[in-house]
Each structure stands twice: as structure tokens, then as C-alpha cells.
Structure 1
Amino acid sequence: MRCPFCAHDDSQVKDSRPAEDNAAIRRRRQCSSCGARFTTFERVQLREVTVVKSGDRKQAFDRVKLEQSIALACRKRDVSAEQIDQLVSGIQRQVETTGESEIASHRIGEMVMDGLRQLDSVAYIRFASVYRDFSEARDFEEFASTVQDAAKGGNGDGE
């Protein structure tokens, strides 16, 4: 593993432990050249998945991009980094186990919506406002009322 500080090619593993509900391994490493310590994560990647976006544009599935968009929706909410990481890992597993090499971006968006609906209603509405391209305050009001109605009804449906 290359050191992120001095780019030396050799490092020693000082500690390993499971992470992300045993879906990854967290390793503490020390560079044998400069002595700097850093952490790496190893994850199983079942298959390369391509995301098909609007206009038939394609790009590789990017866990970091998914994590950033969920974290942005959860910003300043009582949602821990661990909860976000678990949601991202769950979505990544769903994407990789579909058996398909391509997945439509709207399917990933729906997976995020389902996860956020259960995690935090404000984060759910924030994500939905971008994902569903709300253009007026009325769009927020209508969507928020469906979230409130679902919470009162207890069905968790959200729509």
C-alpha cells in the first residue's frame, strides 16, 4: 500500500478489524519510510456496475459520490457517520447483487429515498427536493404533507 504522505510503496499493517457490519476491513498502517500512520479500508467488490444516467450517459458506480450525497442530505441532523455508512453499504450491496452490470440512476435514487425515509424525515425531504427537482415551495409542502401523513398512519409509505 502506497503511503499517502511520502508515496513510498511499502507499509506495515499495525491493526486490522472488521468495519461496516463486517462488509469491510479497517487496517491501521505505518509507512516503513517516513513512519506516518494512516488507515485503509478493504471492501469486497462483487462486480463492476455502471450507472446509466439521464440521456443514456454512463459512469462507474461511485460509493464516495453516493456517500457524499447522503451526507449532504443529513447535514446538521442527528444522523451519525456510522448510520450513513451503513445506509451506503446497504445500497451498494443491493446494487452489486442485482446481477446486472448496469443500473439506472433513478433506481439508486429510490434506494436512497427508501433508506432516508426510515432514517430521518428531514434528510428524506432534502434529498427528495434535489432528486425530484422541486421547483416551488408548493412542491415542498405537498411532499412534506405526504411524509407527515405516512408518519401519522404508521405505514412508512412516504407517498
Structure 2
Amino acid sequence: MRCPFCGHTDTQVKDSRPSEDNAAIRRRRFCPDCGSRFTTFERVQLRELTVVKKNGEKMPFDRDKLTRSLTIALRKRPVDEDRVERIVNSIQRRLETLGESEIPTKVIGEMVMDHLAELDKVAYVRFASVYRNFREAKDFEDFVGKLSDDQSD
């Protein structure tokens, strides 16, 4: 593993243990060249996933990008970081078990929307505003109106 501080390629593992959700191995590493310590996570990857954007562009699935999107939607909301990690794990596992290596962004977006709808309505609306590309206040009103109608049923 390359040291993120100095780039040295021969780092040492000082401690390994399962992560809190047992979905990864957490490793504390030490760089003998610069003396820095850092943490890495090792996860099982069932298959290589490629994300297909609306314009047809293909790119590798980026777990960190998914985490950032959820974190932005949940900013200043009463939700634990562990909960975000569990959602990301759940979405990644579902994508890996779909049987397809190329996943349209729409599928990922809908999975995120489903999780946020159950978790936090404010984050759900925030994410929807970007995902569904709201252009004006009326778009928000319509979306929240449908959300209110769905809850009153």
C-alpha cells in the first residue's frame, strides 16, 4: 500500500480488525520512510461495476461519490455517519447482485431516493432537487405536494 503522505510503496500493517458493521477490514498502517500513520479499509467486491450516465458516458462505480452525495443531502440532519455507511453498503451489494456489470445512473439514483425517503424527508427533498433537476420553486412545491399526498393516504 502506497503512503498517502510521501508516496513510499512499502508500508507496514500495525493493526487489523473488522469495521463496526463487519463489512470491511480496518487496517492501521505505518510508513517506515516518513513515520506517518494512516487507516485503510478492505472490502469484498463481488464484481466490477460500471456506471452508465444519461449521455452514454461510462465510468467506474465510485463508492466515495455515493457516500458524498448522501452526506451532502444529509448535512445538518440528525443521522449518524454509520447509518450512511450502512446505506452505501446496502446499495453497493444490491448493485453487485443485480447480475449486470453496467448500471444506469437512474437505477442508483432511485435506490438512493428509496433509502432517503425512509430515513429523512428533508434529505429526500434535497437529493430529489438535484437528481430530478428542479429548475424553479414550483418544482419544489409540486414534489413536496406529492410527498404530502402520499403520506396522507
| TM-score, scaled relative to structure 1 | 0.89
Kindly tell me: are residues 134 and 20 of structure 1, through their superposed partners in 2, closer, same or farther at Cα, counting changes over 3 Å? Answer: farther
2:151, 2:22 → 1: CA distance? 32
Q: What aligned pairs does 1:86-101 form with structure 2 within 5 A after superposition?
A: 86-101=86-101
The yes-or-no answer on 1:135 pairing with 2:147 is no
1:21, 1:134 → 2: CA distance? 35
Q: Residue 50 of structure 1 contacts residue 103 of structure 1 at CA under 8 Å; is this kept in 2?
A: yes
Kindly tell me: are residues 136 and 20 of structure 1, through their superposed partners in 2, closer, same or farther at Cα, counting changes over 3 Å? Answer: farther
Q: Deviations over 1:108-141 (max 9, x none)?
A: 0000000111111100000001111112212211
The yes-or-no answer on 1:42 pairing with 2:42 is yes
Q: Deviations over 1:31-59 (max 9, x none)?
A: 12222110001111111111111122211
Alpha-carbon deviation of 1:23?
1.4
Matched AA of 1:120: D
Q: Residue 51 of structure 1 contacts residue 104 of structure 1 at CA under 8 Å; is this kept in 2?
A: yes
1:51, 1:68 → 2: CA distance? 16
Q: Residue 46 of structure 1 contacts residue 96 of structure 1 at CA under 8 Å; is this kept in 2?
A: yes
Q: What is the identity percentage for the equivalent residue pairs of Structure 1 and Structure 2?
A: 62
Alpha-carbon deviation of 1:146?
2.7
Gaps of 5+ in 2: none
SS in 2 for 1:55: coil
Q: What aligned pairs does 1:27-66 form with structure 2 within 5 A after superposition?
A: 27-66=27-66
Matched AA of 2:84: I
Matched AA of 1:16: S
1:123, 1:3 → 2: CA distance? 36
1:133, 1:64 → 2: CA distance? 22
2:56, 2:50 → 1: CA distance? 11
Give the match for residue 6 of structure 2: 6
Matched AA of 2:133: D
Q: Residue 20 of structure 1 contacts residue 89 of structure 1 at CA under 8 Å; is this kept in 2?
A: no
Give the match for residue 126 of structure 2: 126
How many residue pairs get aligned? The number is 153
RMSD: 1.5
1:10, 1:55 → 2: CA distance? 41
